[in-house]
Structure 1
Amino acid sequence: MTWFDQFKNVFVIAEIGINHNGKKEEALKLIEEAAAAGADAVKVQVRDLEALYTRKILEDPLLAEHGTQYLLNELRRVNLDWDDLRALRLWAEDQGILYFGTPFDSKSVEFLEEEGVPLFKVGSPDLTNLLLIDEIVKVGRPILLSTGMATEDEIQQVIEFLEDAGADYAMLHCNSTYPASIGDINLRYMDRLAELTDRVTGYSGHERGFIPTLAAVARGARIIERHLTLDRAAEGADHSSSLEPAEFAEMVGKIRELESSLGGGPRVFNQGEQVNRIALGKSLVAAKDIPAGKVLTRDDLASKTPARGISPLRFQDLIGKTVVEEVTADDYFKWEDFEVDSASSRGGYEINRQWGIVGRLNDFEDFLAWKPEMIEIHLTWRDLVDFDPEAVAERYSSYGQDLVVHAPEYYQDELIDFTTRETAVLDYSLEMLKKTVELTRALAPRFSGITNERGPRIVVHPGGHFETRKETNRTDQYRALKDNLANVDSEGTDLLVENMPPLPWYFGGQWFQSVFLDPKEIRQFAEMSGLGVCYDTSHALLSCNALGIGLDDFTREVASLTRHLHIADGAGTTQEGLQLGDGELDFEHLFEVFSSIDTGFVTEIWQGHLNSGEGFHNALQQIESLVKGKLATAASCESH
């Protein structure tokens, strides 16, 4: 593994070069702008002109070609001394950005070595200068090399030299014209460069704009170097091929978006696609009434929307099977239709804490045979339209379970948001919650197992979501959330706010969440408002990945304020509601959750209710094993 392999994301370098115009103050400003733009590193150029040029040319530049005359005059104008460069290094450290340099001569190599830079850069002009490269290799630090102005044969010779020397290096594809012509950049050569080195490769760009730079990332560049300037119209050799701070920041943002879109390679069927597949896809249904005992033929099968059962991909597997019980026309086929008592063994889990099942108003009774201790009813906004308390009393019988109600995320097909003070959004959000409270109060007398002294729990999402990523005043959002929820008469119920994922799925697409991600903020809000927390392990896991913190730390922060649990797995920052074992929630994490939070839970497996609750069943079986094993052992140890 090389030094360059340590970076998870594309390593972005802001090249200051000589764009400081020989002024230390401008160089300091460029470092500040590089850090603010999101660059990972800032690079300077270091020259001792006396060591770099021949004495004759220094004494009489007219002896050189026009290009050399121009460049020497420019370098004399802009060259910074050692003291200035030391000040730049210290300022970069203060800004929290990695600092290194390109030495053009032996004295500059010695200076950068003494400065303790973590890596060296060899510019394209010195790619064939094995004398200088040899000196840098002997320092023993990683080396970046640009390959502009070189033939492939020369590149191969340098690679052989570096390999023989055991150097830690990476090469950057480069076209050394300023600015580079788009037609000459030849990004496809990056593939050949990667083949030649079998190492991390990158791109050092000098084009106008940054479209080729993004294309380089898409082609596999793991290192990007671009020049940064305060003014592209300024006098100097490199300004015209450089990016101004706003452009550089935009480029970094686009690089991060692009590399995120590249993914990991294997096909991932994400939650957003699952939502759309249900709404747009099809499942197998009975084409007509099918009596028990009939052997299915092709004519018995049809495919219809929504996709809530067996995929039409499996239609041939159903032909020739015998149905155990009658299937009515348009009913979805289930694998249980072909097996005697296939799902009858589900339920009765030996879990020494209150466990429940998630259902809708129209189907939660399907799971009562499992004997859950709690039912969490997920409402849609249409459940609340023209709601009649008397009709609820007539429709539902009596149940021995505890009751939790999950408020809708939408109302009138608009996203609810309690973190805003925008009247139009707040009006329908509050109307939704008030109706949810009314419905919960109407349902409560039908559930005799309610254990919460405040009444049935109502889980609500806070809002604070946006279609595009943006900076918000979270303090104001939390204050608005507290004030708005306080305006709802929730007497006889217990409002709980659920922690959120960083990139939630709404309307079949990905949004950006701003609040209820950070466990410290969640704890502060709960203490300030007096409201409890619904802790969703999948959402928490995704937030932890986004924030760079541990799930156990998240759990400890909110444990004492949690009054209900959603248990599910997750992965990355977008894959929520996964089956236990399919993501990053290992049993040690789950053990920490159950050990520190003694409250009821449901398994929030995405589409866990399908196939007679197969997803819920599998998750509950795993939790049962955990409870019987590790938790039981821990409890036994505590009693001795």
Structure 2
Amino acid sequence: MLSQFKPYLQLGSRRVGAGYPTWIIAEIGINHEGDADVCAQLIRESARAGADAIKLQTMDADENYTPDTTSYPLFKKAALSPETVTEMFRLSRSLGVEPLTTCGDLKTLQWIQALHPVAYKISSGLFNHIPFIQQVASLRTPLIMSTGVATWQDIDEMMALLHQVGTTEVGLCQCTPLYPAPEDSLHLGCIRAMQERYALPVGYSDHSLGIEAAVIAVAAGASLIEKHVTLDRSRLGFDHGISAEPDEFARMVMRIRKVHTLLGSSEKILTEPLRQARNTISRCIVARRPISMGEIFSEDNLTVKRSSAQERGAEPKCMPQLLGQRARQSYRENEAIYV
């Protein structure tokens, strides 16, 4: 739709988009419940499970929620200090995992900016916060935006806005912000639809139970996957109930990597094994019966068969060239015929 946007995101040393390995984000969010040690353990477990990135939620409760919302006490309790978040970013990078965070106010954005994340994540709930998004876009850092409560018109308008301010690296995520999200609400077909509509990377942020939807989303075209992670899914509150425990997250990563391998390339290129297979199984022109030298080639004495790779005749498409020509030598039955 808008050609200004790049077909990939440059996230650290990785390119993320169609044709590149799936970028997998372990969404820690606030499942650490404000405990720095738990947060650090979640980062280590995510790294061991094979995540490419971890994501926190650094939402200042007083700046983002009114006290009568259910979000206010959760984020108030789970707040990590800027110093702690800085240490978590440092730990993540030491483990080879890119740290991200979602924030929703300019005061927090200012100190998050100093941590130099490779991208900024805009949640579904922030999608209509135009002033904040404009400020984030001005940083010229890739944006990853969830579209969970956006219509096509909303997304069209957002893309036009980002185009206007000169943003070039944007990724969209199909998302259903229901906790848990029922299977019939996931609409993974929107992944391909967004790719075709906007020609940019599209991912999937998962709030369903289990890991099946995240794996299927990759087969549906998702370039990045975001899945919540917890140390104990039985804990009450926060996002524990929809999260994957470390072993389950590791299985998800393994299956996603397998899907990527199975999808392979969209290019129809014959590798050496396939070239050998082609010589083995494809058909060629051979003598239907013994042919004498000087005899005219016809459908009566020529046919098409699979022959040994050591003695392959001309391609079947060459049959019209041969018909009506005189044989320059004699041929045994089933002997290869060349043009």
TM-score bin (small chain): 0.7 to 0.9
For 1:142, the equivalent position in structure 2 comes to: 142
Q: Residues of 1 paired with 2:140 and 2:276: CA distance? A: 53
Structure-1 residue corresponding to 2:82: 82
| 8 Å CA contact retained: 1:282, 1:307 | no
1:170 CA drift (Å): 1.9
CA 1:208/1:316 → structure 2, altered by over 3 Å: closer, same or farther? Answer: farther
- CA RMSD of superposed structures (Å): 2.4
Q: Does 1:198 align with 2:202?
A: no
Would the alpha carbon gap of residues 197 and 328 (structure 1) be closer, same or farther in structure 2, given more than 3 Å must change? closer
Asked if 1:4 corresponds to 2:5, the answer is no
Partner of 2:209: 208
Instruction: Name the counterpart of 1:97.
Output: 97
- CA distance in structure 2 between the aligned counterparts of 1:72 and 1:140, rounded to whole angstroms: 30
Aligned AA (1:283):
C
Distance in structure 2 (CA, Å) of the matches to 1:150 and 1:111: 29
Match of 2:240 in 1: 239
Shift of 1:321: 2.6
Query: 3-state SS of the aligned residue for 2:300?
Result: helix
| Aligned equivalents of 1:42, 1:221: Cα separation in 2 | 18
Instruction: Say if 1:90 and 1:266 are closer, same or farther in 2 by CA, change over 3 A.
Output: closer
In the other structure, the counterpart of 1:170 is: 171
Change (3 A) 1:264 1:280: closer
Instruction: State the match for 1:264 in structure 2.
Output: 265
Cα 1:266/1:321, change in 2 over 3 Å: farther
Task: Give the residue type in structure 1 aligned to 2:48.
Answer: A
Cα shift at 1:181 = 0.9
1:318 deviates by: 2.7
* Equivalences for residues 370-381 of structure 1 within 5 A: none
Number of the residue aligned with 1:285: 286
The answer on whether the counterparts of 2:104 and 2:126 sit within 8 Å (CA) in structure 1 is yes
The letter of the residue matching 2:131 is L
Deviation at 1:229, TM superposition (A): 1.8
Match of 1:326 in 2: 330
TM-score by length of 2: 0.86
Cα distance in 1 for partners of 2:150, 2:37 equals 35
Indicate the residue corresponding to 2:37 in structure 1.
25
Is 1:156–1:196's contact at 8 Å kept on the other side of the alignment?
no
In the TM superposition, 1:119-134 aligns within 5 A as 119-134=119-134
Tell me the CA shift for residue 191 of structure 1.
3.5
Amino acid at match of 1:322: R
Q: Is the 8 A contact 2:62 2:72 kept in 1?
A: no
Count the aligned residue pairs.
Answer: 323
* 1-structure distance, mates of 2:45, 2:323: 67
Q: Tell me, what secondary structure is at the counterpart of 1:149? A: coil
Which blocks of at least 5 consecutive residues in structure 2 are unaligned? none
What's the counterpart of residue 28 of structure 2?
16
Structure 1 residue 190: Cα displacement: 2.5
Alpha-carbon distance in structure 2 between the residues aligned to 1:321 and 1:294: 8
Q: Look up the SS of the partner of 1:299 in the other structure.
A: coil
Give the AA of the match of 1:315.
Answer: M
**CA distance in structure 2 between the aligned counterparts of 1:198 and 1:304, rounded to whole angstroms:** 45
The alignment status of 1:186 with 2:187, answered yes or no, reads yes
SS at match of 2:174: strand
- Aligned counterparts of 1:276 and 1:128: Cα–Cα separation in 2: 55
Q: How far apart are 1:221 and its partner, in Å?
A: 2.1
Cα distance in 2 for partners of 1:40, 1:319 equals: 61
- Spell out, residue by residue over 1:275-330, the C-alpha distance to the aligned partner (whole angstroms, 9 max, x if none): 44555554332222211122111121234444431344543443223221221122
Would you say the 8 A contact 2:60–2:75 is kept in 1?
Answer: no
Tell me the amino acid that sits aligned with residue 9 of structure 2.
F
Equivalent position amino acid for 2:140 in 1: G
Distance (whole Å) between structure 2 residues aligned to residue 305 and residue 140 of structure 1: 59
Matched, 1:42 2:44: no
Cα distance in structure 2, aligned partners of 1:193 and 1:320: 56
| Equivalent residues of 2:232, 2:240 under 8 A apart | yes
Map Cα deviations across residues 551-602 of structure 1 (whole Å, 9 max, x no partner): xxxxxxxxxxxxxxxxxxxxxxxxxxxxxxxxxxxxxxxxxxxxxxxxxxxx
2:225: which partner in 1?
224
AA aligned to 1:216 is: A
The letter for the 2-side match of 1:285 is: V
| Partners of 1:21 and 1:78 within 8 A in 2 | yes
Conserved? CA contact 2:118–2:142, under 8 Å: yes
Offset at 1:239? 1.8
Is contact 2:24-2:52 (8 Å) kept?
A: yes
How far apart are residue 245 of structure 1 and its match? 2.1
Q: Distance in 2 between matches of 1:285 and 1:195?
A: 47
**Structure 1 CA distance, aligned partners of 2:322 and 2:48?**
60
| Equivalent residue runs for 1:50-65 within 5 Å | 50-54=62-66, 57=67, 64=68
For structure 1, the 5+ residue unaligned runs are 58-63, 336-640
Relative distance call for 1:19 and 1:314 in structure 2 (3 A) is: farther
CA distance in 1: counterparts of 2:63 and 2:87, whole angstroms: 23
Map 1:486-505 → 2, pairs under 5 A: none
Q: C-alpha distance in 1, partners of 2:336/2:46?
A: 58
Distance 1:156 1:280, change over 3 A: closer
CA deviation profile, 1:449-496 (whole Å, cap 9, x unmatched): xxxxxxxxxxxxxxxxxxxxxxxxxxxxxxxxxxxxxxxxxxxxxxxx
Aligned partner of 1:299 in structure 2 is 300
Structure-2 change in CA distance of 1:257 and 1:82 (3 Å):
same
Q: Secondary structure at the match of 1:191?
A: helix
Task: Give the match's secondary structure for 1:226.
Answer: strand
Amino acid at match of 2:215: L
Question: 1:155 aligns to what?
Answer: 155
CA distance in structure 2 between the partners assigned to 1:18 and 1:140 by the alignment = 27
Structure 2 residue identity aligned to 1:207: S
| Distance (whole Å) between structure 2 residues aligned to residue 203 and residue 262 of structure 1 | 17
Once the two structures are superposed, residues 93-150 of structure 1 have per-residue CA deviations (whole angstroms, 9 ceiling, x without a partner) of 1101111210022222112112222221111111101122122223332211111122
List per-residue Cα deviations over 1:481-534 (Å, max 9, x = no partner).
xxxxxxxxxxxxxxxxxxxxxxxxxxxxxxxxxxxxxxxxxxxxxxxxxxxxxx
